[in-house]
Structure 1
């Protein structure tokens, strides 16, 4: 079966739902990482606190706490990278047994479609999980780079290299966190894309719900309100 024939197996509503998914991924990513100046997201607020962390590390002696914290961040990325690999393997195994999947979905939706349709829909989930895996791995590596940079920061605040090195460590830390957040969003939308097996309308609904959850957590959550509560005598973290 050619690519054009496979393309013709999907209805205009299926293509619209797929476009809706891509648009939602791009929009929520842009909204979180480039919010209006007066409405920062949790991710942007945490950037400031990460810079404050690196500055406060300069005068902290010993730096056992900092080492433990960066180690915990690396463990988190390693866990999700492993989980993504397992999910990819399970999804690929499902592609090799689409007959049972098609039978289950047919019972739920009372529809009928060739096996290639189910394989394409499952492949979308694999693509999003693979994207998440690659970003988790890169985030893990960047947190490792950050650990090395943190170790290179002199203990003497008067050393001319101290603050520039701390700023470098903060930049790498922020980049690692950004990659981690993008990977998590990819996992969320991978879960949402499973709804495509039930039809394009189900995919659209799942995308809307997922986008709403991400938006609430970044812009209307209790954790964000806590991050914004800064004592009046303290200066806000730099971004």
Structure 2
């Protein structure tokens, strides 16, 4: 149960922990909020907003793809979970799996199912919010008033940033879904894969070339 406690703590506390480490900057998720806000302010002052709709539509298609893939994985995990004694015997026959009882096996699969289900809900919420964003882009009036453009862009960003944050949480669910699945290989593997997944996520958020480029771009937008 200690391994499960480690997983749950890291899974549920990952995002608050990342925000605390970043303190408002220095990670992709927070730096991108500034870049998206700049995008929306530029969009509000642009005559032709076709490109903005296309860019957001591409992200919407990506979210729909991930949601569909997630649903397939959920169906597979649910099939195993509700497969009864036959599914347990088939899994127990594999030497690499460490599951001592049917109850433990069902809890292990249920955890995978739970992580995937949470990710699916995040994708669905992201898709809904992105559709709202498309309406906001389409409704943006032509205006030469710079103050109005900035205000409209900031409000649009307040809608877009939560949408993309939900999308990011959905993608992150795959990492934790893989970590949850590693419990089938024993508690030690469970802890090690969970720690590795979190370390990989943090590294990509803070130390990857993409993170450094986005950090520099944020500084440029903010004027240093």
Instruction: Map 1:81-100 to 2 at 5 A.
Output: 81-95=67-81, 96=83, 97-100=87-90
- The residue that corresponds to 2:180 in the other structure is 193
In structure 1, the partner of 2:31 is 45
Partner Cα separation in structure 1 for residue 161 and residue 206 of structure 2: 19
Matched, 1:75 2:61: yes
Question: Could you list the per-position Cα deviations for residues 33-73 of structure 1 after superposition, in whole angstroms to 9, with x for gaps in the alignment?
Answer: 34443752100010000000001112222111101011011
Contact 2:182 2:190 in 1 (8 A): yes
Q: Which segments of 5 or more consecutive residues in structure 2 lack a partner in the other structure?
A: none
Runs (5+) with no aligned partner, structure 1: 1-14
3-state SS, counterpart of residue 229 of structure 1: helix
Please say if residues 155 and 162 of structure 1, whose CA atoms lie closer than 8 Å, have aligned partners that are also in contact.
no
Instruction: Compute the TM-score of the two structures, normalised by the length of structure 1.
Output: 0.85
Query: How does the TM-score come out when normalised to structure 2?
Result: 0.90
Matched, 1:101 2:91: yes
Q: Whose Rg is larger?
A: 1
- Residue 28 (structure 1) aligned with residue 14 (structure 2): yes
Task: Specify which of 132, 137, 142 is matched with residue 129 of structure 2.
Answer: 142
From the superposition, tell whether residues 63 and 202 of structure 1 become closer, same or farther in structure 2 (CA, over 3 Å). same
Q: Which residue of 1 aligns with 2:112?
A: 125
1:153 aligns with 2:140: yes
Size of the alignment, in residue pairs?
Answer: 220
Deviation of 1:129 (Å): 0.3
Q: Deviations over 1:51-106 (max 9, x none)?
A: 000011122221111010110111111111101100000111122122201211xx
Q: Normalized per residue, which structure has more helix?
A: 2
Could you tell me which residue of structure 2 aligns to residue 4 of structure 1? none
